[in-house]
Structure formats: structure tokens, C-alpha cells
Structure 1
Amino acid sequence: MNNHIKVILFFYVTILFGCTSKNKTIPKKEDVLLATVYNRSLYLSEIKEMIPSNASKEDSTLFLNAYVERWVRENLLMHEAELNIPQDSNIDQLVRDYRASLIQHNYEQVLISLELDSTISATELMAFYEKNKNQYKLDGAIVRCRFIKLPLTAPAQSELNQLWKSDKAEDFVKLIDYCNRNATAYLLEDSVWYQLDDIISEIPKSLLSNVSMSSRKDFKLEDENYKYFYKRFDYIPKGEIAPLAFIEKKASSTILQKRKLKLLEKKKEEIYERELKKNNVKIYKK
């Protein structure tokens, strides 16, 4: 092994097990040096919390071996990289910029969690939709419907047929329960808009060759494995403006994002004005 690299592996498992209990640290004088690479050192105290408390001595030893080997290789690569950094790469500045970015981002998240009003009224949501709805044209057709994909081996199919035809609220509850127990896939909330392509993907193309999903409102299909039940209540084709109910989450997210940006800009200006008054900011114009 290269003379510049001293790899010293001390697997004092007895020491490890005596020192890795919760909230217990290894005194510095008793710490165990595990490896060194040039001027970098790895001590047991740095990794002892990573070892599961219920690990056996053998598992702990295997873990330490693997960790140390990985640490050595990574630090050798780091040393090699430091020797070969181009002089014009300005790594220190990049690190400072990245650190500043992380600190700023963390502070912004704290501000947002403390001060952002995340409540969106129905009136505000509708006003946003009316103003921006042309941006929400459908990439594919959507439907309000009920759909069930049922294995041919499912029990009590006559019961399902009755529940499928019924308009009674208590039968709808039974239908949901039946599908929970037996269906491979199902969509039963007829007030929700679904992507038509998602439903089509559940049905073999061979069965749909003579069925137009854009015009058929009700059908039952069957192949060698499944039965397919479909009942459509509403349909909006591709290229039309999406209803608010379909894009509500996306619209709400956009509203909140705009609020975040507005809040952060306001805070920046408040901090600027405050520090300017305290003479903590000096701008030297040429």
C-alpha cells in the first residue's frame, strides 16, 4: 500500500457494543481510529450512530469494514481531484455560492411556513380560472364515468349486475364494497373527471376495435380473462378548455407559488429598507 496512505482498521467490537447505546458518546481519549488517508482521519465516533442498535457483533463488523473501505476510496478520489483541479475552476467561490444559496433557501422555507397564507377561497379560485382558463386546454379527452374491470372468476356477478344498474344510494355503497373485494380496477366517483386514455389502457385494443369511446356512453365487454363495465356521464374532447374541477389542484398550486414569490419579494424589500435606515448598507456609486 502507498506510503502516503495509512489504513488502520481497529474492529474492537467489544468497545463498539459498549459504546453504541442510545444517547451515549465515546469519550475522546477512548475513541477508535479506523482509517487515515493523507491528512484525513475517520474515527469510530463519527459512524457509531449509523450502526443499528440491535445488530450482532458480526453484522457490526461487516458494516464497519464496508463503511471504511468506501470512505477510503472516496477520500482517495477527493485527494486526487484536489490535485488535479484546474487553477481557473474557482472551487472555493462555487462552494461559497452554494452555501449561501442553501442558507437563503432554508430561510425562505421558514418564512413561507410561518407567514404564507395557504387558504384559497372558492371566489379567488374561480377568478383565477376565468382569467387563465385558456392556458388549460386538454392534452387528451376526459370523462365523468363509472368503470369496472372484473376477473371472470369473481363471485356473485349477478349481484354486481343489479348493483351496476341501480340508482339507489345504498346500492352504490354495496357496489363500492364489491369492487374493493373483487375488481382488478375500478372508477366509481361520477363527479370526478378521469383521463379517458387511463381507462382505455385497461381494455385490450382488440375489444375496442369496434367501440368508439368518444361516442359510446354505456357498454359491457368481455375477453378470456375479464369483464369490463363502462358508463359515461359527461365527455370533453382533447383541445377543449378543462373544467375547473379537473385542474383545481394545478390552479391552486400556481396561486400559492405566486403568493410565495410575492411574499419573498416583500420580505427582501423590508429587510433592505430596514438595514438601509440602520446604515448597515452602503452603496458606493462611481
Structure 2
Amino acid sequence: MNRVLWVLLILGFTSCDNINSLISQNTEGQNPVARVDNKYLFEKDLKGLLPERSRPEDSVNIVERYIDTWIKKQLMLKHAEKNLAIDEAEIERRVQEYRFQLIIYAFEKKYVEENLDTLITDEQVKTYYEENLDNFELKQNIVKGVFLKVPKEAPKTKQVKKWLQKWDTDKQREKLNSYAYSYASIFHLNDSVWINFDEMIANTPFPDQISNKVQVLRKQRFLEASDSAYVYYFRINDSKIADQTSPLEYVDMQIRDILMNKRKLALTREFENKIFNEARRKNEYEIYN
């Protein structure tokens, strides 16, 4: 029987828990499952390929794709070597350089993970924000507000508007929260979070009704629209227009990522310099004229 079919047959009728152990039993035998000229793909090369608890049919597909990909790569390599004037020395140099980069990257990554100070304070975020305001210009309109999409057949739809207009009172908030969880198809009730205005009103009638978004955001605090199936309510508590400076809380996570990346780079450079200076102190290298 064809070796590929044999492996796939095993994968199809063996529980996924036993697949890896079954494959490993044939490691020493070097049983091939595919060949391109004198290059072979062995059963041992498939070990660890399959995720645990995968279904037999999924396992078959994974192995088939892996074998097909391996064959295509070998054929492309064969034709490339045949039809290109290859500088073997240059290829080897690049392979070594890539290997060095991978090893150094793994080494530095481990060092950074073990030594990086991951605590970034609110004060550090605020300081970076204030020193780099020009880098935080908004590219879109953002709002703080409350949004609900309610089926027309839902009860008390007219009451929703009254609750939204009195949103500042705890009593109205509680009523609207309870209503939203019971009847709304989609809702956003966290009015302390800045959100992208265009994303919030996408797939609603609002974009067709609003001719000037900037004017609406500056003057209106309540929007209502409907289609054949739903009523849409949007209470706008605050807004920022594109080209204005982003509020600090809107870019808080972005700044934390920036500061963390800066720390990683600084720690990496410090580590490289430490190794370099230590080697120089111990006379572990020299440069010949």
C-alpha cells in the first residue's frame, strides 16, 4: 500500500491521543511517506504535527496539506537549483547570518523577559502624552455615549428615549441597563469609554441620514432612527473631531505599548554593551590592522 495512504489510514482510524506515540514507534525505521528524487519525507517528520484532540478527518487534512507543501517546496528548490547560477558561498553566508540572527534574537528575548520592568505608571503615561501631543492627532471622530438597537416589536420603545434623555440619574441608568439586557439586539452602555463614531453607527440608518457628521457631533446629543425591523438610539455625551488631539484615555494603551517597546530596546542595547565591554575587559577579542 502507498506509504502516504497508510499514514492517512492510521490517522483516520486512530484516536488523536495515540497518533504521536504510533508515529514515534517507526522513527528508527525511517519509513518514508513521500519522495522527490532522492529526498524523502519520513514518518518521524510528522511527529508533533497534529494538535491534541483533533478529529480524525482534520488530522487527515493537516497531513495531506503538509505533504503537498513539502513536495511543492522540494520541486521548486530542484528547479531553482537547476535553472539559477547559484553562488553557494553567498547562500551559505546568508544561511549562517540568518541562523546567527535567530539565536541572538532568542537569547536577547529570554534576557528581556527575565529582566524587563513591566510596571508603567499613570504618571509616566501622562508625561509621555504631554511631551508628544503632536503624535496623537485623531484620524477619526470619536465619541462617548450610549447606543441601543431595539426590535420594533419590543415593549416600551418610546420609554427608551426618555431614559436616555435622563441618563445622568442612577435610576434611569438601572432601568435602561435592565431593558437593554432583556430586549436590545445590540447595545453599548459604557459611556466612559471613547469609541470610533463611524464604527458605532455602521450598519444603521444613521450614515444615510447624517450629511455633516462634524456638525451633528458638535450640536446634537441624541440621535434616533429606524428601519423596517429595528429602532436605533444613540445618546452622545462627549465628542472629539478628527484632527483634534486624542484624549489621553483614548491613547492610554497605545502609549503603554510605546513605552514598553522603548524599555525593551533600551534593555537590549544595555545587554549588548554589557557583553561587549565585558569581553573587551577580558581581552576576548581583538581587531587586526
In which range does the TM-score fall when normalised by the shorter chain? Answer: 0.7 to 0.9
User: Cα–Cα, structure 1 residues 138 and 60, in superposed 2: closer, same or farther, change >3 Å?
Assistant: closer
TM-score by length of 2: 0.79
Gaps of 5+ in 1: 1-7
Corresponding position of 1:105: 105
Q: Which moved more, 1:62-71 or 1:161-170?
A: 62-71
Letter in 1 for 2:193: V
Rounded to whole Å, the distance in 1 between the matches of 2:60 and 2:142 is: 57
Question: Deviation string for 1:149-204 (max 9, x for gaps)?
Answer: 22323344355345433544354245334334433433222211122222343432
1:256 pairs with 2:264: no
Give the counterpart letter for 1:272 in structure 2.
Answer: F
- 1:33 corresponding residue in structure 2: 32
Among 209, 216, 221, which residue is 1:213 paired with?
216
Residue 9 (str. 1) matches residue 8 (str. 2)? no
CA distance in 2, matches of 1:206, 1:265: 53
Taking a change above 3 Å as real, the CA distance of residues 278 and 192 of structure 1, as seen in their structure-2 partners, is same
1:269 aligns with 2:273: yes
Please name the residue that 1:80 is paired with: 79
Greater shift in the superposed pair: 112-121 or 73-82: 73-82
The 5 A counterparts of 1:241-252 are: 241-252=245-256
1:150–1:228 CA contact under 8 A, matched in 2 = yes
The CA distance in 2 between the partners of 1:245 and 1:228, in whole Å, is: 27
**RMSD, aligned α-carbons:** 3.4
TM-score, with structure 1 as normaliser = 0.80
- Deviation per CA, 1:118-167: give whole Å up to 9, x if none: 11111111111111112211122222222222232334435534543354
Deviates more, 1:263-272 or 1:32-41: 32-41
Partner AA of 1:241 in structure 2: T
1:278 to 2:282 alignment: yes
Q: What is the identity, as a one-letter code, of the residue corresponding to 2:216?
A: M
Give me the whole-angstrom Cα distance separating, in 1, the residues matched to 2:129 and 2:186: 32
- Say if 1:20 and 1:49, in contact at 8 Å, map to a contact too: no
When residues 178 and 112 of structure 1 are mapped into structure 2, their CA distance, relative to the original with a 3 A threshold, is farther
Count of residues in correspondence between the two structures: 278
In structure 2, C-alpha distance between the alignment counterparts of 1:129 and 1:54, rounded to whole Å: 47
Q: Which has the higher helix share?
A: 2
Moved more, 273-282 or 181-190: 181-190
Q: Deviations over 1:37-96 (max 9, x none)?
A: 23312222322544677866x997887666545533432222222223333472222222
Query: What does 1:112-191 correspond to in 2, within 5 Å?
Result: 112-158=112-158, 160-161=160-161, 163-164=163-164, 165-169=166-170, 171-191=172-192
Asked whether the equivalents of residues 20 and 53 of structure 1 are also in contact (C-alpha less than 8 Å), the reply is no
Conservation of the 8 A alpha-carbon contact between 2:27 and 2:43: no
Q: 1: distance between equivalents of 2:53 and 2:195?
A: 48
Give the structure 2 partner of residue 4 of structure 1.
none
**Contact persistence 1:112–1:260 (CA under 8 A):** yes
Identity %: 26
The whole-number CA distance in structure 2 between the counterparts of 1:34 and 1:158 is: 69
Residue 26 of structure 2 contacts residue 43 of structure 2 at CA under 8 Å; is this kept in 1? no
Q: How far apart in 2 are the matches of 1:80 and 1:154? A: 67
Quickly say closer, same or farther: Cα 1:109–1:177, change in 2 above 3 A.
farther
Provide the rounded CA distance (Å) in 2 between the counterparts of 1:97 and 1:261: 21
1:20, 1:48 within 8 Å by CA — same for their partners in 2?
no
In the TM superposition, what are the counterparts of 1:41-56 in structure 2 within 5 Å?
Answer: 41-47=40-46, 49-50=48-49
CA distance in structure 2 between the partners assigned to 1:193 and 1:87 by the alignment:
56
- Give the gaps of 5 or more residues in structure 2: none
CA–CA distance in structure 2, aligned partners of residues 48 and 241 of structure 1? 54
Q: What is aligned with 2:202?
A: 201
* In 1: Cα distance, 2:62 partner to 2:190 partner: 50
